[in-house]
Amino acid sequence: MDAPVPLILAALLAAVALAAPTPRARAAGMLGALLLAPVILAFHVADSAQVRPLRDSPALLAVALALALVAVVVLAFVFARRPTWLPVAAVFTLPFRVPIASGGSTANLLVPLYLVVAAGVLAVAVPALAGRASPLPERRPGVVEWALAALVALYGVQSAYSDDFGHALENVVFFYVPFALLFVLVARVPWTPRLARVCLGVLVALALVLGGIGFVEYATRHLFFNPKVIASNQLEDYFRVNSLFFDPNIYGRFLIVVMLLVTAWLLWAREKREVIAGAVLLFVLWAALVVTFSQSSFASLLVGLAVLGALRWNARRALALSAAALVVGIAVIAFAPGVVKVDLGSSKSAQKSTSGRYDLISGGVGLWRDKPVFGQGSGSFPRAYRRAEKVSAERATSASHTIPITIAAEQGLLGLIAYLALLAAALARLGHNARYAAERAAVLAAFVALVAHTMMYAAFLEDPLTWVLLGAGSAMAGWTTSRVRDRHAAAA
């Protein structure tokens, strides 16, 4: 089903799930998107290596579908009775990916998370469509929901004229639609401080286990995934690990989010043992981050820590320190380029020092100039870049590694405006009174760090962390000002 109409319809249904004014309309959008997206996907991956054995064996296919359906139904009953278990299950399944061949490439899909999302949609949508009142308080969609809906709908519509419709289809079906539903499910749950602590505990446990796997990889000099990183390790003086993630930078992004959540807990801790435990955890997680050699993750961590410092103590001092660090960095590059091996007068030096990002960014800007308003089309960056720059497929990666450039090249000014509107709305919502509660400060710092990471690496709305942080932060935004100020005073 490589046709734009079903894909556009799926994106529009996800947008309805995000921004429709009534619970029943949102439920209809959720259920419609949930049912349509797998149909589109089934036609798209029918000839893949993983699916062919199931297609050639109807009995095996029937068993696989039955098991998946049973798992979804059981989870739906659980989530209907215990709504707060859904975000815990979602957080637990965030890192686990299954490689699926699609469109001549391999996508690493969050299959366990998809099952959780499907179960959550059934638990919410079926009672709503049946006219049964929800036991949870309903919150009307705001500017963040409308901005997300605009981005999802626009991405689907702009796939119609993309040079790489298959890539756009995969992004919509694998990421935009399920993660939009995930946001709706996470945001509707009352995020109490207790739920936030439980989710933090799950994330810390996962980070420690994944970090342990990374340490084993580093000690044995053997990776489990990603032939490109394996080949790169053979040529470099250092050895990068990716744990169970396909990419060291995505692994590093996960680690810095957990580190910032732990740091916020430590900064607002009231007992000495909590401070000691937090410090030990940060030491272990820092060691795990170091062996990723992810420069974008290191820089993003500093951004997140600056946000936490501004929230916990003094915003002016945090900004002054950040500005001073930036000035020092610029001065080193300008007056001692040999220290960081950067020659400002050489594009080859810039290309090497930025791990290939210089050419990708400049090429992305060129693509935007060609079609500034509507862009090249959703998911078209690799093919359009390869055609414009006359480079091989290996050099045309999936994005410019700078999300605003990718959005501008693919979706033009329309997409860029929607992206900037989302950032402004999200920061306004997450930042309001964030200094008065550790949970809200943690979410804001993690989201800002993630945004900073996407300025140096790919995947913004393609990362479930973005949607989970926005959903949890949106739910926490409903905490009353008096309540968070009382908690802040007690922790001070």
Half-sphere exposure of 4 (CA within 13 A, CB side): 16
Going by C-alpha positions, the residue among 434, 433, 360 that lies closest to residue 395 is 360
Mean pLDDT of 416-422: 96
Tens digits of per-residue pLDDT, 274-305?
889 999 999 999 999 999 988 899 999 999 99
Q: What is the DSSP letter of 414?
A: H
CB atoms within 10 A of CB 7: 28
The residue type found at 37 is: A
**Rounded to whole angstroms, how far apart are CA atoms 397 and 203?**
30
Inform me whether the pLDDT recorded for 175 exceeds 80: yes
**SS3 label, residue 51:** coil
Q: What is the per-residue DSSP string for 198-210?
A: HHHHHHHHHHHHH
The pLDDT score that the predictor gives to residue 171 is 92
- Number of H helices and number of E strands within the chain? 23, 2
Half-sphere exposure of 433 (CA within 13 A, CB side): 17
User: Please, where are the H alpha helices in 294-346?
Assistant: 295-312, 315-335, 337-340
**Rounded to whole angstroms, how far apart are CA atoms 97 and 142?**
32
**Rounded to whole angstroms, how far apart are CA atoms 349 and 331?**
17
Q: Which two tokens stand for residue 80?
A: 């209907």
**Rounded to whole angstroms, how far apart are CA atoms 212 and 207?**
8
**Rounded to whole angstroms, how far apart are CA atoms 467 and 473?**
10
Q: What is the DSSP letter of 106?
A: E
Mean pLDDT of 66-85: 93
pTM of the model: 0.88
**SS3 label, residue 82:** coil
Rg (alpha carbons) of the chain, rounded to whole number: 22
Tens digits of per-residue pLDDT, 388-408?
877 655 555 555 578 999 999
Q: How far apart are the first and last CA of the chain?
A: 58
Work out whether the CA dihedral 219, 258, 171, 389 comes out positive or negative.
Answer: negative
Q: What is the per-residue DSSP string for 118-155?
A: HHHHHHHHHHHHTTPPPSSPP----HHHHHHHHHHHHH
Share of the chain above pLDDT 90, in %: 53
Mean pLDDT of 478-488: 59
**SS3 label, residue 161:** helix
Tens digits of per-residue pLDDT, 299-313?
999 999 999 999 988
